[in-house]
Structure formats: structure tokens, C-alpha cells
Amino acid sequence: MSVRLGVDIGGTFTDIVLYDETGDRVYTTKTPSTPEAFEQGVVDGIEKVLDESVDVGDVSFLSHGTTVGTNAVLEGELPKIGLVTNEGLRDVLEIGDQTRPELYNLFTDKPPTVVPRYLRKEVPGRLDHLGEEVDPLDEAAATDAITDLLAEDVESIVVSLLYSYLNADHEQRVGALIEEHGDRTAYTLSSDVYPEIREYERTITTVLNEAVKVKIRDYVENLESDLADLGLDTALNIMHIGGGLLRADQAVESAIRTVLSGPAAGAVATQYTSEREGSANAIGMDMGGTSTDVSIVRDGEIIRTTEGEINHLPIKTPMIDLNTVGAGGGSIAWVDEGDALRVGPESAGADPGPICYDGGGERATLTDANLLLGRINPDNFLGGDIDLIVDRTRQLFREQIAEPLGQSVEEAAQSVVDVSNASLTRQIRRVTVERGEDPGTYVLVAFGGAGPLHAVPVAEALDMEGVLVPNNPGVFSASGLLVADVRVDESHSYRKPDLDFDVLNEQFDELVGEVYQRFTNQAFETEKVSVQRVIDMRYQGQSYELTVPVPGETTDRIDEDLLAETEQAFHDKHRRMYGHARTSEPIEIVILRASGTVQSPKHDPSITVEGGTAHRGQRDVHFPETGGVTTNVYERGLLAAGTTIEGPAIVEEASSTTMVPPDVTATVTEYGNLLLD
């Protein structure tokens, strides 16, 4: 009697995946997202699945990917926050890194300031690069600054002072002064949120965290109360950008980590599925309506990073290394003034959408091309008079693309697909090579509504090892929510100018203790927690770091031998990423990290095929090799494990369509995934 629920809010749809352990079956559905109050869409979706299958009391696990934080940052709808910082430095936040986002656009703009200048207050008091006091904190000035900000009715005050990652005394003193003020205004210290070197990044990360926190706190409160009304009494887990889950209250505290949680879940699902299918190296290609998210799994581990950006603002937190490529089903195609065929990155998105969605879209898109090639079944997504809509799509496509190119409609549609694939191929190669990897040693895991239509030609162009189209590719990210582990990350700069093993161990013990504490707070048993120590290192003089794990248990004292092993891992990683290592160079320890995980139970549904034949009939589908050819169409849900399908074929399901080109064989694996070879 156990049901696990994953709910992923996207811009257009909220996806729900339900796994019923008793019946060993998976159920998925989609419901429109409700941007006015996203919790409504979540509740709608949950009601929908519960109606159809199970009782609310059986739900034992609820995991959620939300776009609330992402949207708040992207749309700049952030609360009024005040900043207290050092004398002379209040503009650090606004100057940023002094670059502009686009080189050749005179009308480009820097990222938003987040805290306007009049809400940024300066206080004398200064530490040096060792964390030692140069000038004492001017408490009177700090009190004035606080009084001024409170008079402005700020929702919260961020305190960010130089070198607070080494010595938090001044920040803590300002925090105490805020508390002494006595009107319970919220505040946060950069040394608590992100105790790492580089003042702009620490400040913006702390400010964004605080701003998103205010937004997501309201959302979580509303959602929890709505869920309680439904009768759901299981804890709410929220996916974070690091690919793990946090209990809702901890997610609020680490609010900035909830951005981009949907794509992170897709990467987790990619890792899970490729591992079960016996592939250690996989590239996840999540192709939706407007863009494609690319993630990489190497030797069974998702490639991670500690820095990313959103809306051109840097965010510094351990995260899955996700790359967004401007190609999706809604990518607009046009013939330009020089008669070249162009596809994307401009997208018709969900509104107005492709012509064939009949939602007011009038410009040809990649999805329209797939429809005209017979690869998408118009019955799957069109309401209204299908013949009429297909005719209209054909008509506009002919005018916009086929005639200017001097091609037939089908040739032109194939041209649009080819150009889009060329762009996708180029960008996936770049992302992979940038990380020191060769796509030729990877399998492609293709999902999202459009991924399985484009997987084979892209994988062929990249000379990849094969293609895996998972079960329910359209809601694959949501399924990642069900297999993600609970994950907590703590970190701070190494607080000592030179190497001192006592200090190093002491600082690590403290971090590890904090990680355990966070799990205890979430009511996890300590025995289930596994913690790893990790160090960001660099060769002395470099200005970038690589993250490497410390081998062994967290209780092992780090001594010369253990550090040497860790350094060896750094050299190896440096060689892999950058092609060379300088083994005789001194190495600097920059940031210490501790990451703890508690494994979630992994479901392993076997494929239960309901009665009936998977073969749904035939239709005319165009392939570049054969032209129009009578092609078998299969129902994905009725394909039993072990079934093989010879291309050309089309495999359909509610959320996606898989293209099996001529001379390609699709095999249904024991886990129900499609292997294309």
C-alpha cells in the first residue's frame, strides 16, 4: 500500500508521474500549468491521478519540481530587500563583473540590479584577506543603516561584508544589531548562505536566495495547506538544481537552489535510466517546445558544476551542469533574404505555438515539418477539423518554405528537420567537447515531447553509440523526481592562507556535522545518511577551480597521504578536462564541501502489457532515404519487452512520438525503454 508521486511544473504543463508499488505500475498525466497560482495546477494534477487510480491515503512519498523560483528571477518579480555592505563598496552589486551580455548589440542590457542603490547602505569597518580586522566596525553607522532600511519597509536585510567567509564577526554583529532593533525584520548574512570567496558572487547569491525565499515560502505554505485539504499527509519534497531533494522547509531556506529544478530532474532520470540499461556514459537530450536541455552522465555520475547563471545573474551553488540549446519543436523556420533556410532559435513556444496547433500560430515550425512528413499523428494533438488544419499547415508551409526553396512540401519539411538537426548536432558536440568528452563514447537518451523524433539522425551525426528512448519520454523529467535522492550540500572557503591539517580537518568536521544536522532536522536517521567530503582545488596562481572528492570515510583524518590521493584525483581531472596536468606545481585548497545523501527507494516497474496488439496500422511517412513510404505505426504502451521493430516505423504514445528510420532497429528492453540501433 504505497504510492509515490512526482509532480513537475513546466511553463505550459504540469506533469504528474505516479508509481504504485503494490500494483507495480506507473501512471502519468499532464495538466495545464496555472501561472497565476502554480499550486492550483499541482492540486489539479494530483486530483486527476488520484481520481483515476488510487486512494489519497496510500500516498507515501511526494516529490516536486517547481518553476516558482525560476520565474521570480526571470521576471524580476522580487521583493524589496535592503543591503548592508562595506563603506565605499555598495555598488559592487550593481557593477557586477562589468561585462555586457551581447557583444554586437548596442541595445543590450546588464542584468537587473535586484537591490536598488538607495537600499544599499555602507558601514565603515574592514577586514583583510586573512580575515583580520583592519578597521573596526562602526556600530553607530550600522545602526543608522538599519534604521534607514527599516524605515523603507524592506522585507528583509542582507548583510554582506568583505572576507566574511573567513571571519563572520562583523556580519554577525550587524545581524545582532538588527535583532536588537526588535521589530523582527528578517535578515540574512552572506557568511551563512554562501561563505565563499568573491564578494560580488557571494552578495548576489545571498540576495537572490533571500528574494526567492520570500516568494517560495508563500508558495510552499499555500501548497501544503491545499495538499492537507486533499487529505495528503506525507512530507513535501522539493527538487533542487543539484539533482537532489530537500524537505519543503529546507528548500525555502536554500531557495535559490530550487531554480531550474525541472531540468535537473531530467538529468537525474537520464542517469537512472542509462545506468539500468548498462550504459555508463549518456547524454540527456530533453527537447521540448522552445529549447533543449543537455546534461551529461559520465562513468555513471552526472557532471556537476558549482556555478551557473539565470537571467545573466550568476548563481553559485553545487548544481547539475545543464546546458540549454535554442532548438525545440516550436522553433520557427523561415527562408531569409539571402534564400538560406533558417530554423530557430526564435520559437513559437506554446502560444501561439506551431501552425498545426491551431492556436493562432502562422509561422512554420519544426513541429509543422514533422506533421507534414507524416511523423506525427495529427489525431494525437489536434482538436477540431483535422483535415482542415493539416491543409492549412501545408498551405502556409508551402508559401513560407517550400516555394522559396523550390522544393516540394515534403522535401522542404525534411530540409527544416535537417537544418534543425545540424544545429542541434553542432551544439551538443560543443557542450560535450567543452567538458573534455567525446560524444562518440556516449549513448543519447532522448526525451521531452520532441526528442525522440530527432534522436537517431543527431546520434548518427555525432557518431554516438546508440539511442535510448525512455518510457513516457514526455514526462521523463517528472519520473526523475521519483528516483532522486535526498541531498544536502554545505560548503565554505578554506579559512587559512596555508595548508594546516588540523585546521583542515576541523573545518571539514564542522561541515560534515552541519550536513548531519540538516538531515536530523528533516527527521532522517543518521545511519541512512552517507556523506562525502569534496575539495575545490586549483594550481597556485590559477583563477578557476576543479571539484574533487576526498577518498574514504568522513571520519578518516585527512593527512598527507589522503591529501596526496585527493591531489592525484585533481591532476587526473585536470588532465581529462584540459588536456594537461602540472604534477609538480603546488596546489591550493580553495573551497571545502560536504555533501550528504539519503537514497530514495528505487522503483523497478516491470512492463505489464495489457492485451491487444501494438500494431496500430500504417500511414505514409517521409524519410530522406526512401521518400514517402508506407510505414508501420505502433502503440508504445502495448509493446512487450523483447519486441523488435524494424524501421521505418513510428512508435506513438500520448506524450511523444519516436521515429525509427529505415535500417534502424528498435528493441524494447526489459525496463520498457526503446533501444534504437
Partner 1 sequence: MVSGDELEIFRHELQGIVEEMGVTLERTSYSTNIKIRRDYSCALFDADCRHIAQFTAAPSQVAALLYATPAIMEERTDGLQPGDGFLLNDPSQGGAVHLPDIMLISPVFHDGEVIGFVGNDAHHVDIGGETPGGIPADSTSLYGEGLIIPGVKAVTDWEYDEEMLRILTRNVRGAEMRIGDYQAQLGSNRIGARRYRTLFESYDREGLAEHVDELLSYTEKRVRAEIRRLPDGRYTAEDYLDGDGIDDEPVVVKLAVVIEDDEITFDFTGTASQNRGPLNSNPSTVFAAVMMAIRSLFEEDLPQNEGFYRPFELVTPEGTMVNPDENAPIAATGEITQRVPDMVIKSLAEAIPDRVIAATKGTVVNVAYGGTDPRDGEEYVYYETFAGGYGARPTKDGMDAVQPHLQNTANSPIEEVEGEIPMYVRTYALRQDSAGAGRYRGGLGIRRDMEFYDHEASFTVLSDRSKYAPWGLFGGEDADPARYVIDPDTDDEREVGSKSTNRLAPGQVASIQTPGGGGYGDPLDRDAELVLRDVVNGKVSEEEARDVYGVVVDRVERDIDNEATERRRRELREATPSENDGVAADGGTASSTDTDAVDNVDSEGGDRA
For residue 4, what are the β-bridge partners?
A: 19, 61
Q: Does 430 bind partner 1 (CB under 8 A)?
A: yes
Query: Which span (270-278, 407-415, 446-454, 612-620) binds partner 1, by CB under 8 A?
Result: 407-415
Give the amino acid at 497.
P
Cα torsion 397, 398, 403, 408: sign: positive
List 298's β-bridge partners, or say none: 301
Q: Which among 227-235, 243-251, 411-419, 442-450 is the span making contact with partner 1, rule CB under 8 A?
A: 411-419
Minimum distance from residue 649 beta carbon to partner 1 (Å): 25
Instruction: Work out whether 498 is an interface residue with partner 1 (CB under 8 A).
Output: no
Instruction: Give the shortest CB-301-to-partner 1 separation in angstroms.
Output: 20
Distances (CA, A) of 483 to 49, 204, 600: 19, 32, 6
Identity at 260, one-letter amino acid code: L
Pick from 304, 195, 315, 283: nearest CA to 532? 304
- The Cα angle at residue 280 between residues 274 and 282, in degrees rounded to 5: 60
Count the site residues for partner 1 by CB under 8 A: 69
| Location of C-alpha cell 496500430 | 616
* Minimal distance, residue 230 CB to partner 1, in Å: 46
Name the helix (H) or strand (E) containing 367: helix 366-372
Only one of the segments 191-199, 348-356, 546-554, 633-641 lies at the binding site for partner 1 (rule: CB under 8 A); that segment is 191-199
Across-strand partners of 239? 245
- Helix spans in 409-450 (H): 409-434
Give the contacts of 426 (CB within 8 A, at least 6 positions apart). none
Q: Which one of the spans 141-149, 350-358, 409-417, 660-668 is the region binding partner 1 (CB under 8 A)?
A: 409-417
**Does residue 151 interact with partner 1 by CB under 8 A?**
no
Is residue 415 near partner 1 by the rule CB under 8 A? yes
Kindly state the smallest distance separating residue 87's Cβ from partner 1, in Å.
8
Q: Which amino acid is at 138?
A: D
Query: Per residue in 421-451, is it b (16+ CB within 10 Å) or e — as a string?
Result: bebbbebbbebbeeeebebeebbbbbbbbbb
Name residues whose C-beta falls within 8 Å of residue 297's C-beta, 6 or more positions apart in sequence: 267, 270, 271, 274, 275, 280, 281, 282, 283, 284, 303
Backbone φ and ψ for 56, nearest 5 degrees, come out as -60, -30
> What distance lies between CA 582 and its chain's CA centroid?
33
For partner 1, give the closer residue by CB, 103 or 523.
Answer: 103
Q: Which one of 47, 138, 249, 418 is in contact with partner 1 (CB under 8 A)?
A: 418
Among 197, 235, 629, 675, binds partner 1 (CB under 8 A): 197
Among 4, 30, 121, 126, interactor with partner 1 by CB under 8 A: 126
* Residue 106 binds partner 1, judged by CB under 8 A: yes
Site string for partner 1, 540-559 (x = CB under 8 A): --xxx---------------
Measured from the CB atom, the residue of 581 and 641 that comes closer to partner 1 is 581
CB of 633 to partner 1, least distance (A): 27
CB of 417 to partner 1, least distance (A): 9
Nearer to partner 1, 198 or 616 (CB): 198
Mention every residue, 6+ apart, whose C-beta is less than 8 A from residue 273. Answer: 282, 445, 468, 470, 476, 671, 673
Separation between Cα atoms, residue 290 and residue 268, nearest integer Å: 21
Rounded Cα distance between 505 and 223, Å, is 41
User: Which of 90, 213, 394, 533 lies at the binding interface for partner 1 (CB under 8 A)?
Assistant: 90
Binding test (CB under 8 A) with partner 1, winner from 301, 434, 620, 625:
434
Within a 10 A sphere around the Cβ of 490, how many other Cβ atoms? Answer: 21
Which stretch of DSSP H or E encloses residue 180? helix 169-181
- Which one, 17 or 366, has the nearer CB to partner 1? 366
Among 269, 416, 444, 511, binds partner 1 (CB under 8 A): 416
Binding-site string for partner 1 from residue 205 to residue 224, where x marks contact by CB under 8 A and - marks none: --------------------
Region near partner 1 per CB under 8 A, out of 1-9, 106-114, 268-276, 618-626: 106-114
Asked if 433 interacts with partner 1 (CB under 8 A), we say yes
- Distance CA(138)–CA(149), nearest Å, equals 17
Identify which of residues 166 and 478 has a Cβ nearer to partner 1 in the complex.
Answer: 166
Given 24, 231, 500, 582, the residue binding partner 1 (CB under 8 A):
582
Q: Is 124 in the site for partner 1 (CB under 8 A)?
A: no
Would you count residue 441 as binding partner 1 (CB under 8 A)?
no
Cα 10 to Cα 34, 65, 67, 71, 621: the distances in Å are 10, 9, 7, 10, 31
- 199 contacts partner 1 (rule: CB under 8 A): yes
Per CB under 8 A, does 327 bind partner 1? no
Name residue 320's beta-bridge partners. 304
Interstrand relation of 649-653 and 627-635 (parallel, antiparallel or unpaired)? parallel
With H, G, I as helix, E, B as strand and everything else as coil, classify residue 402: helix
501 forms part of the interface with partner 1 (CB under 8 A): no
- When asked if residue 613 is in the footprint of partner 1 (CB under 8 A), the reply is no
Instruction: Verify binding: residue 110, partner 1, rule CB under 8 A.
Output: yes
The verdict on 132 binding partner 1 (CB under 8 A) reads: no
- Name the 3-class secondary structure at 25: strand
Q: Does 134 bind partner 1 (CB under 8 A)?
A: yes
Q: How far is the CB of 247 from partner 1 (least distance, A)?
A: 33
- Using the contact rule CB under 8 A, the part of the chain among 107-115, 281-289, 527-535, 622-630 near partner 1 is 107-115
**Residue 142: CB atoms within 10 Å:** 23
Is 49 or 341 the residue whose CB approaches partner 1 more closely?
Answer: 341
Q: Which of 25, 342, 398, 495 binds partner 1 (CB under 8 A)?
A: 342
Task: Confirm or reject binding of residue 94 to partner 1 (CB under 8 A).
Answer: yes
Q: Which residue has the cell 494534477?
A: 45
Residue 570 near partner 1 by CB under 8 A: no
Position among 62, 341, 515, 639 found at the interface with partner 1 (CB under 8 A): 341
Q: Residue 256: name the closest of 451, 72, 41, 88 by CA.
A: 72
Q: Does 338 bind partner 1 (CB under 8 A)?
A: yes
- Give dist(CA 400, CA 396) in Å, integer: 6
Span of 249-257, 289-297, 406-414, 520-528 interacting with partner 1 by CB under 8 A: 406-414
Q: Which of 76, 88, 359, 642 binds partner 1 (CB under 8 A)?
A: 88
Torsion angles phi and psi, residue 329, rounded to 5: -60, -30
User: DSSP character for 637?
Assistant: G
Site for partner 1 in 159-188 (CB under 8 A): 162-163
Q: How far is the CB of 350 from partner 1 (least distance, A)?
A: 26
Q: Are strands 292-298 and 341-347 parallel, antiparallel or unpaired?
A: unpaired
Task: Supply the minimum distance, in Å, between the C-beta of residue 461 and partner 1.
Answer: 10
Report residue 564 CA to chain centroid gap. 34
> Measured from the CB atom, is 339 or 560 closer to partner 1?
339
Query: What's the min distance (Å) between Cβ of 571 and partner 1?
Result: 14
Q: Using only C-alpha atoms, what is the Rg of the chain?
A: 27
Which residues of the shown chain bind partner 1 in the complex (CB under 8 A)?
A: 88-92, 94-100, 103-110, 116-118, 126, 128-129, 134, 162-163, 197-201, 335-343, 404-407, 412, 415-416, 418-419, 422-423, 425-426, 429-430, 433-434, 436, 542-544, 577-580, 582
